[in-house]
Amino acid sequence: MNKKQQPVEETRVKKVVVEDDNDEGGANDWLATYSDMITLLMAFFVIFFSASKVDLQLFEELKNGFVSDKLNTKSGSPLTMLYNQLDSTFDNSVNDNPRVDIEKNYRGINILLGSESLFSSGESNLTRAGRQTIDELCQSLDSIVGRYNLTMDIEGHTDDTPIRSFRFPSNWELSSARAATVLRQMIENGLPPENSRAIGFADVKPTIKPFDEEGNYVKGSREKNRRVEIIIHY
């Protein structure tokens, strides 16, 4: 009897061993943990990206700043070089040009030109002084804008006074035509047209609101709001 029962016991042992191996979880259980980790990482980066503002200018400034440090130069990024050149030419204390204001902000380099120095009232053709201003400006832009493939946005702005003429039914047409005229003059001076655009904003983006909270006209606001802005950025 003992000899006949021995194979049965061996079979039971083998069966127990197999069942114990299966109870350990299997070879693919690690994929669940791995997929959970990847999902959490993806969710983190989606939230991080959506909550942050990508500042290309800051990125370029940092990148070129590192390069400048490595090469032991003081030139900085293309925008910094251009700003320094424009500031020294048009906003210097010795020979300040009142028709041109230069500032550097989150958008890039903002060149502000008063419309009264560029155009006659209600017109989009450049005056002689206006052409001279654009020509002088292009001399400073030519060596950097094309070389570093910078983008130029030319924005036309009017005041809140309505215009109704055969050529300009509203301020939208007038502001767009003025922006296009400035851009065309800059292209004729050799600046690249590929990354340039002319945009008209009429009176929807005033520098100064023409009326205060009590409805009173703010003196000088219309003169400030009539302008052309050239924004240069990456």
SS3 13: helix
**pLDDT of the residue at 18:** 47
**pLDDT of the residue at 75:** 57
**pLDDT of the residue at 69:** 43
Residues 131, 213: Cα–Cα separation, whole Å: 38
pTM of the entire predicted model:
0.69
Integer CA distances (angstroms), 11 to 17, 21, 22, 125, 151, in order:
10, 16, 17, 102, 80
Residues 155, 93: Cα–Cα separation, whole Å: 27
Q: Is 234 exposed, middle or buried (0-12, 13-18, 19+ CB in 10 A)?
A: middle
**pLDDT of the residue at 99:** 82
Note the pLDDT tens digit of each residue in 21-71. 555 555 567 777 777 888 888 877 777 766 655 555 555 555 555 444 444
**pLDDT of the residue at 16:** 46
**pLDDT of the residue at 206:** 95
Contacts of residues 159-163 at CB distance under 8 Å and 24 or more positions apart, as own/partner, are 159/203, 159/206, 159/210, 159/221, 159/222, 159/223, 159/225, 159/226, 160/203, 160/206, 160/210, 160/222, 160/225, 161/222, 163/122
- Enumerate residue ranges in the chain where pLDDT < 50: 8, 11, 13, 15-19, 66-73
Identify the structural domains of the chain with CATH numbers, from first to last: 77-233 (3.30.1330.60)
Residues 70, 76: Cα–Cα separation, whole Å: 11
Beta bridge partners of 198: 154
Report the chain's terminal Cα–Cα distance, integer Å. 93
Note the pLDDT tens digit of each residue in 196-207. 999 999 999 999
Measured over the CA atoms of residue 213, residue 215, residue 218 and residue 224, the dihedral's sign is positive
User: Which two tokens mark 113?
Assistant: 């030109």
Q: Is 181 exposed, middle or buried (0-12, 13-18, 19+ CB in 10 A)?
A: buried
The closest of 144, 124, 126 to 135, measured between CA atoms, is 126
**pLDDT of the residue at 61:** 55
**pLDDT of the residue at 93:** 65
**pLDDT of the residue at 25:** 53
Contact 126, 134 (CB under 8 A): yes
Indicate the pairing of strand 151-157 with strand 227-233. Answer: antiparallel
**pLDDT of the residue at 87:** 87
